[in-house]
Structure 1
């Protein structure tokens, strides 16, 4: 036990001088064919290096977290993370140069270098995931770093392909990831932002439970892509086609509207990651999908109006004494939903009347719904104080659509 404590104390004292010292010496001296005859390294020494390497990476992660935690100034944290990131990329480059100088016969050293590449890449991933805000995301990715990253992504993509289904979204993702790891040229600049986006996307895909495929609104995969602002035109088309097909399964326009509003609500309740986007030069996923929802809702509203009004004939009815014609306005909301909105406007004193009952008594004769031509003001008053959760949700969604439309004016 005391030996372990003493060893950890020695490692800690080494870290206080230069945290990457052991890793640096191993790569630039011990395993560098230009400075050392690596062929004399024995299996026992290699095993010791391998064992120490794993412990070193875990200790470094813990030490870096402790350093960041102990610093109060953001600019000092920023400098610290950038120094670590640049140093690790330099060590990664040197490891690859070492590997290129080793002949295939010295398999022991080749395996050590492969292990080094894996562990340095893990440490870089730790920095880029935990402290991404301090990484210069728009800097171009170094070639050696890109090669190591592509190898990592290829291994994970191959593993994901075993889970592949007939889902067109899955096929689209596999195709994009496969192109990234196999292509030699790209139509966009390869920055750290691109790499970090793809790494987080792949990590998210690995967490999906592919066996549990049941969904009521949006699948786990769709939720991930919406969270990541995966603004691929093909994905947008696939998503809107699926939603349209599910809505159009219903025969009646009212049922279609109901299903569409349900999807609209469910979509806007999903989580989003701020300042994240697959293609920075194209519109956000939310912009395109919300516009699609708005256009579909407007279309169904007009269709609903056209199918109801001809059946009613004239929308004018006579008053109870038969002397005055009352012009009615058709509203696609139900009586309960209109009652809720009118109650809210009265509570906020947007409209003024002697009482809420007076509001309903005045307005009810001039309103009709697709299901009821004559509305009772007493029924409206009763429903306003005992709303069902479904009516409350539809009223809220309607007001949100009004707000969105006003913002577009």
Structure 2
């Protein structure tokens, strides 16, 4: 509860609701000295409010009272932020120095709100919908952070590719306007994630397939389907570059051991509609380990059948379906059906493993599922265009049914 005798936000309240009210004051009459004094005082008042809130919270004994106090500060600051953003559109506030002052006010209020959300998130109702004006400010703030992260000079090639992809995924999520309820929890997640990425030290070395950047993202439960695919592709590429079957399995088990030691905060998530990243990767490892173990057994069976002059692949060879698409184009479609969850399997690997052996092209009878899957991550523009045209042709036919 805010102290009944003292209203800590009184100065900001008066400045925004009275001085910056374009209907009730002559704000354009402010002198340079007035503007300089207000500018200096904004910083002082911001510090005073932080100290006052910390002292007030520290003096309270009951959690209920602390919760009420924190929420009062939070909701009042958001109300003031909404008010100054709304007032700023008035013609009288377009004077250069007045506009700069309004921008400084917005920045200071946003900082105070972030301070409360960072320090006292436990006492906030994080699943409430964010006001639209506050959301606009947050999007702008997060976009600037993404620009800084994107410009970072990352030395490790693996991390460089990961950062580039993660920035794009976060950017798409922040800019999306799909009617989804955007909450304080959503904003807090991205603020924390981008702060970690800004502070990330890419000089750290690791003997594991999982880099320190991966550890950071997994710990923050960055459960994007695309990011998980980056991880599984990286491991698959290393594993299947080895010829000996037993060595493949040993390397996979080593990766699994490293993975089991990683932590993931399941209380937060990038996409609440998807499983936690640890669960998805756990399923992927189980599927891959089972596949390689079974493959060992199949090889032994194949050797026995070969000695008896029986081809174990004959049923597959006889049941192949020829596709007029190239293997690269097929890979694009299979990857898209997995990532959009049209086809649901334990992993993307399982989709390719199950389907590709039964397909052929006019130029190639036997296709490698690893090769088809790998090429789907670096598609050429002409292949993307051809696949889109093919799908449009299918849509046209369906409409005519």
Fold conserved between structures, TM > 0.5: yes
Query: Structure 2: any 5+ residue segments left out of the alignment?
Result: 305-401
Kindly indicate whether residue 179 of structure 2 is the aligned counterpart of residue 190 of structure 1. no
3-state SS in 1 of match to 2:89 = helix
Per-residue deviation, 1:258: 2.6
The separation in 2 between residues aligned to 1:96 and 1:21, in whole angstroms, is 18
2:88–2:94 Cα contact (<8 Å) kept: no
Query: Structure 1: any 5+ residue segments left out of the alignment?
Result: 1-13, 313-409
3-state SS in 2 of match to 1:35 = coil
The separation in 2 between residues aligned to 1:217 and 1:109, in whole angstroms, is 54
Corresponding residue for 2:250?
258
2:28–2:92 Cα contact (<8 Å) kept: no
Corresponding residue for 1:128?
117
2:208–2:258 Cα contact (<8 Å) kept: no
Kindly indicate whether residue 82 of structure 2 is the aligned counterpart of residue 93 of structure 1. yes
Kindly indicate whether residue 263 of structure 2 is the aligned counterpart of residue 271 of structure 1. yes
Relative to structure 1, is the Cα distance of residues 291 and 213 closer, same or farther in structure 2, using a 3 angstrom cutoff? Answer: same
Corresponding residue for 2:62?
73
Per-residue deviation, 1:74: 1.4
Corresponding residue for 2:170?
177
Per-residue deviation, 1:309: 9.3
Kindly indicate whether residue 209 of structure 2 is the aligned counterpart of residue 209 of structure 1. no
Relative to structure 1, is the Cα distance of residues 174 and 164 closer, same or farther in structure 2, using a 3 angstrom cutoff? Answer: farther
TM-score under structure 2 normalisation? 0.68
Relative to structure 1, is the Cα distance of residues 187 and 246 closer, same or farther in structure 2, using a 3 angstrom cutoff? Answer: farther
Q: Deviations over 1:15-38 (max 9, x none)?
A: 961111111111112222223211
Corresponding residue for 2:37?
48
The separation in 2 between residues aligned to 1:105 and 1:84, in whole angstroms, is 29
Q: Deviations over 1:265-321 (max 9, x none)?
A: 222222222411122122111111001111222223334456679999xxxxxxxxx
Per-residue deviation, 1:91: 0.3
Q: Deviations over 1:194-247 (max 9, x none)?
A: 222111111111111346676633123222221121121111112111111122
Corresponding residue for 1:355?
none
1:229–1:273 Cα contact (<8 Å) kept: yes
The separation in 2 between residues aligned to 1:105 and 1:140, in whole angstroms, is 30
Relative to structure 1, is the Cα distance of residues 295 and 179 closer, same or farther in structure 2, using a 3 angstrom cutoff? Answer: closer
The separation in 2 between residues aligned to 1:157 and 1:16, in whole angstroms, is 43
Relative to structure 1, is the Cα distance of residues 241 and 105 closer, same or farther in structure 2, using a 3 angstrom cutoff? Answer: closer
Per-residue deviation, 1:104: 6.3
3-state SS in 2 of match to 1:57 = helix
Q: Deviations over 1:341-367 (max 9, x none)?
A: xxxxxxxxxxxxxxxxxxxxxxxxxxx
Kindly indicate whether residue 148 of structure 2 is the aligned counterpart of residue 159 of structure 1. yes
1:15–1:21 Cα contact (<8 Å) kept: no
